[in-house]
Amino acid sequence: MSDSAGISIGLLLFPALTQLDLTGPYEVFVRTPDTNVHLIWKTRDPVVSDRGMAILPTTTFSTCPKLDVICIPGGPGQTDLMTDENVLSFIRARSHQARLVTSVCTGSLILAAAGLLKGYRATTHWASLDQLSLLGAEPVNERVVRDRNRITGAGVTSGIDFALTVVAELYGAEIAQNIQLHMEYDPAPPFSCGSPRMASTAQLPKAKEQSAAFIEKRRQATIKAASNLLRV
């Protein structure tokens, strides 16, 4: 069952995740009235992000309450979860019970590896967007994508936009707007280069080159996960 009071939101916490994929939405969700937010992993031991931040889970797979919303963040550690049946089974079970099934960044690839985005429109980080199609999803180059009860956010910083969208769905636009105001979420980046659409003709090839080796590693993990899905 859900927690005794309010809506229950669970965010998957895993080694080598990108912390802002999790902490951006977390900051929005914990400001929402009558909402219980859980950080979930296999154990209660500290989990270290890809950049070295240690974060404490608040519950485990075995003790996690029923979730109204499940959210899967992304990050380099995502590749190891694509074939981790313990993780995928937990996500499937909780997603079947949830009102909203969601992700940020490459967390959508984990959802897809669990078979939860087949036939759904979804997004992820721009560098891996094409990989969603390998898992039966329809890639959409938008910051937040809604398809039925699936809501997915694009790369890293989109997690705040994503979370405000989720709050508006659950509680209405007025509460979401109030949270946005209190957070002073009023982006005015110093440079106009935060997406492939805005980056210069010199910046984008350089960024792709810098991440090429890891993107190929992620692609191989996605291909393996897609093969596993065919056997399910």
| CATH code (residue 96) | 3.40.50.880
Residue 44 gets which letter from DSSP? S
Does residue 146 fall inside a structural domain?
yes
Burial code of 91-126, b = ≥16 C-beta within 10 A, e = fewer?
bbebbeebebbbbbbbbbbbbbbbbbbeebbbbbbb
Per-residue HEC secondary structure of 112-141 comes to HHCCCCCCCEECCCHHHHHHHHHHCCEECC
Does residue 29 fall inside a structural domain?
yes
Q: Where are the strands (E) in the chain, listed by range? A: 7-12, 35-41, 47-48, 54-55, 59-60, 69-72, 100-104, 121-122, 138-139, 144-147, 150-153
Specify the pLDDT at position 231: 81
Amino acid symbol at 203: Q
Does residue 2 fall inside a structural domain?
no
pLDDT (tens place) for every residue of the chain, 232 residues total: 344 469 999 999 999 999 999 999 999 999 999 999 999 999 999 999 999 999 999 999 999 999 999 999 999 999 999 999 999 999 999 999 999 999 999 999 999 999 999 999 999 999 999 999 999 999 999 999 999 999 999 999 999 999 999 999 999 999 999 999 999 999 999 999 999 999 999 999 999 999 999 999 999 999 999 999 988 6
Q: Give the count of alpha carbons within 13 A of 67, CB side only.
A: 28
**Domain range spanning residue 182?**
7-231
For 215, the token pair is 């993107």
**Residue of 64, 71, 105, 193 marked active site:** 105
105 in active site:
yes
Amino acid symbol at 226: A
Specify the pLDDT at position 2: 42
Are 51 and 191 in contact by the 8 Å Cβ rule? The answer is no
pTM over 0.85: yes
Does residue 80 fall inside a structural domain?
yes
Helix (H, G, I), strand (E, B) or coil at 41: strand
Does residue 1 fall inside a structural domain?
no
For 24, 92, 96, 160, the CA distances from 116, given in Å and listed in that order, are 23, 7, 9, 22
Does residue 211 fall inside a structural domain?
yes
> What's the number of domains the chain is made of?
1
Does residue 76 fall inside a structural domain?
yes
Does residue 224 fall inside a structural domain?
yes
Residue 9 gets which letter from DSSP? E
